[in-house]
A and B are shown apart, each in its own frame.
Chain A
Amino acid sequence: MDAFLLQILNGLDKGSAYALIALGLTLIFGTLGVVNFAHGALFMIGAFCAVTVQRILNLSFETLDLTQKDFLGNPLKIKTPYIESWFGQDIGAAIIDWSVPLAILFAIPIMVLIGFVMERGLIKHFYKREHADQILVTFGLAIVLQEVVKYFFGANPIQTPEPSALRGSVDLGMMIGFQVNEIVYPIWRLVYFFFSVTIIAGIFAFLQFTTFGMVVRAGMADRETVGLLGINIDRRFTIMFGVASAVAGLAGVMYGPLNPPNYHMGMDFLVLSFVVVVVGGMGSLPGAVLAGFMLGILESFASTTWATTTIPGINQIIIYLVAIIILLTRPRGLMGRKGVMED
C-alpha cells in the first residue's frame, strides 16, 4: 500500500513535468499548426536561464589568501560574490541561495522574447509548408540552440540547487498514519508538482475565461472563420507562441534542482514529449495533460522491482509500449480530433 502510494505520488510528479512540456507543445501545434521540434530546446534554455542567474549572482572578485595554496602552489584565490559585498554576507548568501526562484522573474521576459523572435523570424514562414519541413527546420534550430548553449556552458551538467529552506524531504507517510520512512518525498518535487498544476490551471483558465483566450480557442478550432471575422488572429498566435515558450522555459527553470541541467536535456525530453502529445491526441490540451500524468504514473510503476522482475526490461519500453497500444486502440490518441495531422 505504501509502495503503491509512493509510486502514485512519484508518477504525478514525473507526469507534471511531462504534462507541462506537452502542454506548451500542444499550444503551439493547436494554435499555429506547427510541429515544433525545438520545444525541448526551449525547455533546456529555461533551465539555463536559472544557470545564468546563478552565474550572474555569483560574479565575484578575487582576493589572495596567502595562508592557503592552490593546486599549483600559488597563493589561493578566494572568490567573493559582489552581491555578498554589496548587501552583506547574510543577505547576499540568501539571494544566491534563492537564485532558482529568482530566475523565474528573469526567465519569463527572456523566454517570451525568444518565443516572439522564433515565431516572427522563422516559424511564421513555415505555416503553409509541409509538416516535414517544419520538423526539419525546428530540428535544425534545436541543434543550433543546443550547440550554442554547449559552447558557452560546456557539456557537463551544472548544479542549480534549490533554496536550502526547500531542500531535503518530508515524511508524508507519517502525517497520514504510516510508519516512519514509508512515504518520504523531496520537498522540491512537491513544489514542482504544485507549480506545474498551477501553471496548467492558469493556462486553462486563461483560455477559458478571457476574451483573448476565447478567440484563440476559436482560432484553434477554425482559423479561417475567425480570420473572416476581422480579428487579427496572427498577432494573438504570436503571443500564444510567446506564452508556450515561457511555459516551456518555466518548466525548465524549476526542473534544474531536480536534475542538474545539461545542454542535451531538451533532446532527452523531445521524443518523450512527442509521445505524450500524440498519446493525448494532437491538438488537444486536456489530452496532453491527461497523457502526461498517465505516462508519468505508468513509468513509475514500470520501474518497480515487481514490474521489472515480472517482465524484464519493461521499464525501458513502457512509454513506447503504451503509445503503441493506445494508438492502435484509439486511433487519434486519448482525446484527439478527427482529421488533425493524419495526412
Chain B
Amino acid sequence: MSKNDVTRRGVLKTGAIAGAGVALPTIFTASSAAAYVNEPTGGTVTLGFNVPQTGPYADEGADELRAYELAVEHLNGGGDGGMLNTFSSKALQGNGIMGKKVQFVTGDTQTKSDAARASAKSMIEKDGAIMITGGSSSGVAVAVQGLCQEAGVIFMAGLTHSNDTTGKDKKANGFRHFFNAYMSGAALAPVLAARYGKDRKAYHLTADYTWGWTQEESIKAATEALGWETINAVKTPLAATDFSSYIAPVLNSGADVLILNHYGGNMVNSLTNAVQFGLREKMVNGKQFEIVVPLYSRLMAKGAGANVKGILGSTNWHWSLQDEGSKAFVKSFGTKYGFPPSQAAHTCYCQAVLYADAVQRAGSFNPCAVEEALTGGDSSLPGISSAANKGFLFDGLGNGQTLYRGADHQCFKDVLVVRGKENPTSEFDLLEVVEVTPAAQVWYEPDHPMFAGGELGTCNPGA
C-alpha cells in the first residue's frame, strides 16, 4: 500500500502478527457495517489522486500531481502552508484532516473514461480512498464523477471545462472548481467585441466531441448576442493531427475571425497551422484577421510557441495574478519545484484544500456531511440577485471571492481573459492577463438551457 510511513521493519512486524492471526480461525470477522464507504478508522486518511500519467495529457497530469503533493504537505503542516494561510476559512489546523494524517494514492487515467474508472475503483476498493480527485478532460471527469456517485465517495473534479460536468451530468457527490465553456464565452465575448468590433464574421473550427460542441455553442451564443455573425462552424475529428485542409478554406470564406474550439494537441496543431497559413497577416473585409482560442492553458501555449503571441483566450487562473492567495501558491509551488504552477495545478490544489476544509468544518468524512459543508451554506456572492445564489462562499484561493453553488456544485468566480505575450521574459511567461471578468458577468441560472437536463440527485454515502 502506498502509504508514506511504512518501513521495512514495519512490514516484518505486521507479517508476524498476521501469521499468528491465521492460526486462530476464531478471529475471523466480517467487516463491521460502517456508516459510509471507506470510513477512516486509524490515524490516517487516504485521498485518491487520479491524473493522466500516460497519454497526451501526461504533462498536465504531472503538474496536477505536484500540486496535490504540495497540498498534502501543507495539510499535514509541512512547508510554508501555501494558500492555507490566505484561505478565508480557518478551520484547517495543519495537522491533517480532523487530526488524521493525510496520505495519498495515485492512479493513471490515461485520459480514457474506462481506464480512469478502473483506477478510481482500484483506489476506492483496494486502497480505501475516501475522496477521488484530478483528471484532465471532461469525458474522464463525467465518467469518474458518475462512478463516485455510485460508490459513495466524494469526487473533486480536476481540469474539466465542458458544461455537462455540472450540467446534464452533474452529481451530488461531484464538485467542480474549474470554470466552464459557458463562462469562457461570457467572459471572452465582451473583450472580443471591445477589441475587434461588433461587426465581425466568425469561422469556427470545433473538435468533434462533447466538449467541443458545448464550447462552440457557448462562444457562438455569447458573440452573436454582441452582434457577430457566424459564417461557418466546421467539426474536426478528434484524432486529426493536421488541420491544413480545414484552415485552407477559411481565408476565402468571408470570415475575418477564426475561433478554434480545440484543446490540447488539437489546439497546438490547429493554431500552428492557422498561423502558418498567414491568416493573422491578412486583411479581410477591411479588417485585420484575428484568431481566438477560447480555452487557453499555459502548458499547451508552450507547445504552440511563438504562435500564441497576441491571441486572445480565457483561462481559469494564471500565476501572474497578484492577489495574496495566488502569490502564496506560486511562491510555495515555485520554491518546491522551480517553475510556476499551471492552472491545472492551481485547481487541483484548491480542490484538495477545499475538501479538507469541508471535512474539518463538517466534523465528519461522511460524503453527505461534506456535501453539506461544501455547498449547503446560505452565503451568496454580492451583486447577483438570484434564488440560486446560495452556497459556500470563500476567498483567498486565487480567483477572488468564490461561491461553491449548492444547486449544481459549480464554482463561480472571476474568469481571466488572457492574451499571448508579445515579448516573453522566460519560458513560463507566455500569457498576460488582459481582463479579470467578475463572477457576476459569467453567472447563469442552474436551469440555463445549456445546462439543463440532468439531476443532481442526493448524496450517496455508499454503505
CB-CB nearest in chain A for B330: A71
Q: Which residue from B244, B276, B282 sits with its C-beta under 8 Å from A14?
A: B244
**Interface contact A168-B281, CB-CB below 8 Å:** yes
B248, B273, B282, B335, most chain A CB atoms within 10 A: B248
A7 lies within 8 A of chain B by Cβ? yes
Most buried by A among B239, B273, B304, B426: B426
Is B26 an interface residue, CB under 8 A from the partner? no
For the A-B complex, the count of residue pairs with Cβ-Cβ distances under 8 Å equals: 137
In the complex, whether B57 has a CB less than 8 A from a CB of chain A is yes
How many residues of chain A have a CB within 8 Å of chain B? Answer: 51
A260 at the interface (CB under 8 A from B): yes
Query: In B326-350, which residues have CB < 8 Å from any A CB?
Result: 330-331, 334-335, 340
| Chain A residues in 8 Å Cβ range of B281 | 168
In angstroms, Cα B232 to Cα A148, docked, is 42
Contact A186 B276 (CB under 8 A): yes
Which residues in B have their C-beta under 8 angstroms from that of A159? 272, 303-307
Residue B284 at the chain A interface, CB threshold 8 Å: yes
Q: Chain B residues near A76: list those with CB within 8 A.
A: 425-426
Complex CA–CA separation, A300 to B248 (angstroms): 10
Q: Report B-chain residues with C-beta under 8 Å of the C-beta of A77.
A: 426
* A3 B252 Cβ-Cβ under 8 A: yes
Q: Is B196 on the interface with A (CB-CB < 8 A)?
A: no
Q: DSSP majority for the A interface? A: mixed
Which parts of A40-91 form the interface with B (CB within 8 Å)?
A: 68, 70-73, 76-77
Give min CB distance, B342 to chain A, whole Å. 11
In the complex, what distance in Å separates the CA atom of A181 from the CA atom of B284? Answer: 9
Cα–Cα distance between A127 and B269 once the two chains are bound (Å): 38
A10 at the interface (CB under 8 A from B): yes
User: Does B234 count as interface, using CB distance less than 8 angstroms?
Assistant: yes
Partner of B244, one of A2, A13, A72, A150: A13
Inter-subunit contact B278/A14 (CB<8 Å): no
B56 and A258 contact, CB distance less than 8 A = no
| Given A72-B331, A169-B276: A184 touches B251 (CB 8 Å cut-off) | yes
From known contacts A10-B244, A186-B278, A300-B245, infer whether A156 and B302 are also in contact, taking CB-CB under 8 Å.
Answer: yes
Closest to B284 in A: A181
Is B245 a contact of A259 with CB atoms below 8 Å? no
Q: Is A158 an interface residue (CB 8 A)?
A: yes
Q: Which residue of B lies closest to A160 (CB)?
A: B305
- CB within 8 Å for A71 and B234 given contacts A155-B57, A159-B304, A168-B278: no
Contacts of A262 in B (CB 8 A): 56, 265, 303
Nearest Cβ in chain B — how far from A316, in angstroms?
A: 5
Docked Cα-Cα span, A13 to B277, in Å, equals 13
- On chain A, the residues within 8 Å of B251 by CB distance are 181, 184
Complex Cα gap A262–B54 (Å): 13
Q: Quick check: B334 and A71 within 8 Å, CB to CB?
A: yes
- The 0/1 profile, CB within 8 Å of B marked 1, for residues 307-342 of chain A is 010000001100000000000000000000000000
Minimal beta-carbon separation of A15 from chain B (angstroms): 11
Within the complex, what minimum Cβ distance (angstroms) separates A249 from chain B? 18
8 Å CB contacts to A: which residues of B227-246? 232, 234-237, 239, 241-242, 244-246
- With A and B bound together, what is the CA distance between A11 and B56 in angstroms? 27
A268, B235: Cα distance in complex, Å = 19
A188: interface (CB < 8 Å): yes
Task: Tell me whether B386 is interfacial, beta carbon within 8 Å.
Answer: no
A185 touches B245 (CB 8 A): no
B428 touches A265 (CB 8 A): no
Task: For the complex formed, measure the closest distance between the CB of B195 and the CB atoms of chain A, giving whole angstroms.
Answer: 23
What separation, in Å, do the CA atoms of A188 and B278 have in the docked complex? 11
A225 CB-CB contact with B under 8 Å: no
Whose C-beta in chain A lies nearest to the C-beta of B268?
A157
- Taking A71-B330, A72-B335, A184-B251 as contacts, is the C-beta distance between A258 and B245 under 8 angstroms? no
When distances are taken between beta carbons in the complex, the residues of chain A under 8 Å from B299 are 156
A232 at the interface (CB under 8 A from B): no
A73 to B332, CA, bound (A): 12
Known pairs A156-B59, A305-B249; A259 contacts B320 (CB<8 A): no
Of B244, B330, B429, the contact of A189 (CB 8 Å cutoff): B244
Write the nearest CB–CB distance from A50 to chain B, whole angstroms: 13
* Distance A9 CA – B278 CA, assembled complex (angstroms): 16
A58 to chain B, nearest CB (A): 11
A6–B306 Cα distance when bound, in Å, is 26
- Interface residues in A132-162 (C-beta closer than 8 Å to B): 150, 154-159, 161
A154-B59, A260-B304, A316-B208 are known contacts. Are A10 and B248 too (CB-CB below 8 A)? yes
Taking a contact as CB atoms under 8 Å apart, the answer to whether A6 and B58 are in contact is no
With an 8 A cutoff between CB atoms, is B78 at the interface? Answer: no
* Contact A71–B319 (Cβ < 8 Å): yes
Q: What does the 1/0 interface line of B243-278 toward A look like (CB < 8 Å)? A: 011101101100000000000010011001100111
B282 touches A10 (CB 8 A): no
Mark out the residues of chain B between 118 and 174 whose CB falls within 8 Å of any chain A CB in the assembled complex.
none
For A259, list chain B residues within 8 Å (CB): 241-242, 268-269, 272-273
Q: Which residue of B lies closest to A179 (CB)?
A: B252
Nearest A residue to B253 via CB reads: A305
**Distance between Cα atoms of A91 and B52 in the complex (Å):** 42
Q: A70-B426, A168-B278 are in contact. Are A315 and B303 (CB under 8 A)?
A: no
Is A119 part of the binding interface, using a Cβ–Cβ cutoff of 8 Å? no
> Interface code B299-325, partner A: CB below 8 Å = 1, 0 otherwise?
110111111000000000001100000
Instruction: Assess the B58–A268 pair: CB atoms within 8 A.
Output: no
For the complex, give the distance between the alpha carbons of A2 and B249 in Å. 9
- Complex CA gap A213/B257 in Å reads 52
B interface residues with partner A (beta carbon < 8 Å)? 55-59, 208, 232, 234-237, 239, 241-242, 244-246, 248-249, 251-252, 265, 268-269, 272-273, 276-278, 281-282, 284, 299-300, 302-307, 319-320, 330-331, 334-335, 340, 425-426, 428-429
Q: Which 9 interchain pairs have the tightest Cβ spacing?
A: A159-B305, A169-B278, A155-B58, A157-B303, A186-B276, A300-B245, A303-B245, A316-B237, A156-B59
A14-B242, A186-B277 provided; 15 other pairs, C-beta below 8 A? A3-B252, A6-B252, A7-B245, A9-B248, A11-B245, A13-B244, A14-B245, A71-B320, A155-B59, A159-B303, A181-B252, A184-B251, A259-B242, A304-B245, A304-B249
